[in-house]
Amino acid sequence: DVKVTQSSRYLVKRTGEKVFLECVQDMDHENMFWYRQDPGLGLRLIYFSYDVKMKEKGDIPEGYSVSREKKERFSLILESASTNQTSMYLCASRLERGAKNIQYFGAGTRLSVL
Amino acid sequence: KQEVTQIPAALSVPEGENLVLNCSFTDSAIYNLQWFRQDPGKGLTSLLLIQSSQREQTSGRLNASLDKSSGRSTLYIAASQPGDSATYLCAVLNSGGGADGLTFGKGTHLIIQP
């Protein structure tokens, strides 16, 4: 079974802090994704990566950056956390772009910015 | 821009009933459609993936159909059980340009009454 592991289930940070959310997948998937999920807004794509050292902006990249130095690891960085970044963050991976390929999700990180 | 709508937003039915969840999307240029389940405070679990060339997929008591030309999908749950209580999300992978993540509906919150 594919396993997507997010390093923290819950995080509490202060406004202005630099925050790192880590995600690791164990199935040699090429593509990885970061979404955030908010009540009434659903899931929205922040950033994605096709392969190592590659990154592409999603629908809501403002205030975020990402890093993919190794194939299995995709990090989401909040350069200066703000209260409107309080949310549930979900990481996902997929073998590659294609009609047959399932996107697998981690358990999520609930981030509170105070 | 692709938009995905799920109806109803919430549904409560007695145990043992068969039920149908609906999903519609505005742009028929898709690679696939995925149905997910999300338990409270948790990540997403993939239930079924239907490729754009397919009409339906089945897994146990679940059956998902796809009518790409009309932009509709249904998830049929047979003989519902209390353990089926969760939020069900549908998502499409667009085959056109733009960001490469899934576009999600806002989900149907399902409660199965014992």
- pLDDT tens profile B29-80: 999 999 999 999 899 999 999 999 999 999 999 999 999 999 999 999 999 9
Is there a contact between A52 and A65 (Cβ–Cβ < 8 Å)?
Answer: no
Judge whether B19 is closer than 8 Å to chain A, CB to CB: no
* pLDDT of residue A1 exceeding 80: no
Is residue A101 over pLDDT 70?
yes
Tell me the average pLDDT of chain B. 94
pLDDT of residue A8: 92
Q: Determine the average pLDDT of the residues in A57-80.
A: 96
Token pair recorded at residue B42: 């948790």
Mutate to test the interface with B, among A43, A60, A90 (most CBs of B within 10 A): A43
Q: Do A103 and B99 touch (CB under 8 A)?
A: no
Q: How far apart are CA B11 and CA B88, in angstroms?
A: 11
Q: What is the pLDDT of residue A43?
A: 94
pLDDT number for residue B97:
60
pLDDT, residue B98, reads 59
Q: Which residues of B touch A57 (CB under 8 A)?
A: 99
Q: Is the pLDDT of residue B3 over 90?
A: yes
Residue B100 confidence (pLDDT) above 90? no
- The yes-or-no verdict on residue A49 having pLDDT over 80 is yes
Confidence of residue A100 (pLDDT cuts 50, 70, 90): confident
Q: Which of residues 39-58 of A touch B (CB under 8 A)?
A: 40-43, 45, 48, 50, 56-58
Residue A80 contacts residue A24 (beta carbons within 8 Å): no
Residue B99 pLDDT level (bands cut at 50, 70, 90): low
CB pairs under 8 A between A and B: 68
Residue A43 with chain B: CB contacts under 8 Å: 89, 91, 102, 104
pLDDT at position A97 is 80
Dihedral over Cα of A59, A79, B38, B47: its sign: positive
B36 touches chain A (CB under 8 A): yes
* Whole-number pLDDT of residue B68: 93
Neighbouring C-beta atoms of residue A54, cutoff 10 Å: 12
CA distance B49 to chain A (A): 7
CA dihedral B23, B26, B30, B33 (to 10 degrees): -10
